[in-house]
Amino acid sequence: MNISSDESLARPSVVIGGGSGIGLTVVSKAVEHSKSVSVMDLHAQRPASLSPFPDVEYVQADVLDLEALSAGFAALAERGPIANVFVSAGITLPAPIDQVDPSDAQRCLMINLMGSINTIKAVLPHLANDASIVLAASAAAYTGGGYVGGSIYGASKAGVIGLTRGTARELAGRGIRVNCVAPGATSTGMVGDDPAIVARLTEGTLLKRLATPDDIANGVAFLWSSAASYMTGATLDINGGSHLG
Ligand SMILES: NC(=O)c1ccc[n+]([C@@H]2O[C@H](COP(=O)([O-])OP(=O)(O)OC[C@H]3O[C@@H](n4cnc5c(N)ncnc54)[C@H](O)[C@@H]3O)[C@@H](O)[C@H]2O)c1
């Protein structure tokens, strides 16, 4: 199976939180295969990061705003049913439980978990019947976080894994597959470039390097492709072995 020529990847694709980091890298891969790639993100203006991709449609939507998401997907689906979805939108929260501000904890849980719930609810009426949804979990779901995300972040991502499994069960009747990627520490703005933190995170992997956004985007492309047509409810670990401790 040659993923690069896979017809599933040529279908309409939407990346939520595609304005930066892993989502942006998924966009850069998707446009190699599909003429219909769209991005939803928080920013009122189309982010400059999308300049290399003039054909990518941009829609502003906060994943906490179900109405905005629904209107956005309805507009995008005028080009045809949506086949591939990646929910990259998320935030981290390093604060440990004894120091965390409850409103920060709630915001992290809401964006990371409720945001995925809202996105799936909003996109459902506009999905092709054999669509592929990929959510962003994290190795922090297993490890309980560490230097970048703390226990609340880990809990939000454990929730994403549960949501993946439950929605895979509920949507299989329409042929819709739902999977998630669980990245380890990945070189994006979320991790930052503090040398001490990068060194500790690197040391925690078996392969002795952080993930690149490309490593994670390859996993998303695989889960969108027909090579993964018998996968649903799965968590794809892409973490250089960091989950093995
Ligand atoms: N970078 C890592 O080490 C790492 C590891 C594991 C999991 N993840 C997960 O992967 C996903 C992408 O992470 P990243 O490193 O690319 O982060 P990033 O900060 O570079 O990108 C996140 C994107 O989500 C968007 N976003 C944030 N809140 C939003 C909201 N309320 N509504 C809509 N969009 C919103 C941001 O504007 C941004 O474009 C996140 O869910 C993150 O938790 C990242």
In the sheet that holds 37-41, the strands lie side by side as 57-60, 37-41, 13-16, 82-87, 127-136, 177-183, 235-238
Q: How close are the terminal C-alpha atoms of the chain, in Å?
A: 33
Count of all residues that appear for the chain in the document = 245
Check pocket membership of 19 for ligand 1, CB cut-off 6 A: yes
Give the per-residue pLDDT at 244. 87
Check pocket membership of 90 for ligand 1, CB cut-off 6 A: yes
What is the DSSP secondary-structure string of 124-177? GGGEEEEEEEEEE--THHHH---SSS-HHHHHHHHHHHHHHHHHHHHHGGGT-E
Catalytic residue among 142, 147, 153, 230: 153
46-73 pLDDT, tens per residue? Answer: 999 999 999 999 999 999 999 999 999 9
Give the per-residue pLDDT at 79. 84
**Residue 230 designated active-site:** no
| Bridge partners, residue 183, by sequence | 238
Q: Which two tokens stand for residue 50?
A: 């999308």
Residue nearest to atom 40 of ligand 1 (CA): 90
Judge contact between 78 and 8, C-beta under 8 A. Answer: no
Cα–ligand 1 centroid distance for 1 (angstroms): 30
91 contacts: CB under 8 Å, gap ≥ 6: 107, 108, 111, 112
Residue ranges of the chain with per-residue pLDDT less than 50: none
Give the per-residue pLDDT at 2. 67
Give the per-residue pLDDT at 31. 97
157 contacts: CB under 8 Å, gap ≥ 6: 112, 136, 137, 138, 140, 141, 149, 182
The reply to whether the predicted model has a pTM over 0.95 is: yes
Judge contact between 100 and 150, C-beta under 8 A. Answer: yes
Give the per-residue pLDDT at 89. 98
Closest CA to 69 of 115, 130, 7, 3: 115
Number of Cβ within 10 Å of residue 16's Cβ equals: 30
Give the per-residue pLDDT at 64. 98
Give the per-residue pLDDT at 5. 75
| Bridge partners, residue 135, by sequence | 87, 180
Give the per-residue pLDDT at 9. 94
Domains of the chain by start residue, with CATH: 3-237 (3.40.50.720)
Check pocket membership of 88 for ligand 1, CB cut-off 6 A: yes
